[in-house]
Amino acid sequence: MLQFQRGDLGEFSMVNMVSARAAALWICVQVSSWSSVAAQQVDPEVGLTAQEQVLLLYDIKLQCLQNISEHDPADEVCAPGWDGLICWPRGSLGTVTKVSCPSYVYDFNHNGYAYRKCDVNGSWVLVENRTWVNYSECLWFLTPGKERGKRDFFERLHIMYTVGYAVSFSSLLVAIFIIGYFRRLHCTRNYIHMHLFVSFMLRAISIFVKDRVVYANGGVQQYDAMLMDDINTVSISPLDKTQYVGCKITVLLFIYFLATNYYWILVEGLYLHSLIFMAFFSDSKYLWGFTLIGWGVPALFVSAWAIVRATLADAR
C-alpha cells in the first residue's frame, strides 16, 4: 500500500509552481483563440512555447469538465475532478488511484505516476482540509536542491551580462565622446565606427528594458487562477489585448538593434573593400549609402518579420 504523510502536502505548492512556471513567460502574447492547440503528446525534441503549454492545459481542462458533467453523483465512488494539471478518474473505495504523469506537461517526468487515495466513505483523502495527492514522481525536476540551483545559476548569469553590458555601454560612450570632441578624428572611417558603437549601445539599452518588461511577474496569478479554478467554472474573463503592446514593441526594438549590430559590422567590411578596390571615389559619397545599409536594411527585414508575425502567428 502506498504511504503518504503530511509532508506530501508540499507537492501542492509544486503543482502550483508548474502552472506559474508555464504562465510566467506568457506576458508578451495576444490571445486570439483558446482552442488552437490540441491535446497531444509533447515531443521532447521540439518542446513547447509557454503559451502553447498554457493553451494545452486549458484544452485538457475543458475536456475534463465535459467528462465530469457525465458523472453520476449517486455512484459509490470518489468523484472525478480537475486539480489544475490532471483530470482524475473515479476512484474505487479504499484504494489508491494511480495516473500516469501527463504527457502534455513538457517538464514532467513522463515515466512516473501521480497518486490519490479514495477512502471507504467515497471521498478523496484529505490532509489539512486539502485533497492529498502525490506528484513526487512527476516533479523530480522541482526538488528544492535542483530548483534552487537553477535559480541561483540564472541570477548569477543575469548579473554577469548586466554588468558586462553596462561596462560595454560606458566604454563605448567614452569612445564616442573622444571621437566627437577631437576634430582631427572626424573622418568617414571614424564616423562608421561611431555608428557601430551606437548600435551596440542601443542594443545594451534594449536588453535592459527588455529584462524589465518581458520578465516582469505581472499576470502570473491571473493565468494560474485560470488553470486552477473550481472544476465547475468553465468561462474565462476576456483578456485586455492592449496590455501586451508595450512588451511586443520592446522585443521588436531589441531584435532591430541586434540586427543593426551585424549590418554595421558588414558596413565596416564594405568600407575596407571600397578603400582597396575603389580608392578613387569620395568617402563622403559612400557614408550616406553605408548609413542606409546599417540602419535602413535591418528596419526592412524586422518590419517584414513583425507584419508576418502579427498576421500569422500573433498568438504563439
Pairing of strands 81-82, 130-131: unpaired
Q: What is the pLDDT of residue 47?
A: 58
Q: Residue 31: which of 48, 16, 18, 50 has the closest Cα?
A: 50
Q: What is the pLDDT of residue 208?
A: 93
- Other beta carbons within 10 angstroms of residue 128's beta carbon come to 8
At 294-312, the pLDDT tens digits run 999 999 999 999 999 888 8
**Angle (nearest 5°) at CA 53 between 51 and 58:** 95
pTM of the model: 0.55
The mean of the pLDDT values for the chain is: 76
Q: What confidence tier does 39 reach under pLDDT thresholds 50, 70, 90?
A: very low
**pLDDT > 90 fraction of the chain, expressed in percent and rounded:** 30
Distance CA 118, CA 109 (A): 24
Q: What confidence tier does 108 reach under pLDDT thresholds 50, 70, 90?
A: confident
Which is more confident, 63 or 233?
A: 63
At 214-251, the pLDDT tens digits run 766 444 444 444 444 433 333 334 445 566 788 888 98
H or E stretch covering 298: helix 297-312
At 154-175, the pLDDT tens digits run 889 989 999 999 999 999 999 9
Q: Go through the domains of the chain in sequence order and give each one's CATH number.
A: 6-141 (4.10.1240.10), 144-312 (1.20.1070.10)
pLDDT mean over 137-164: 78
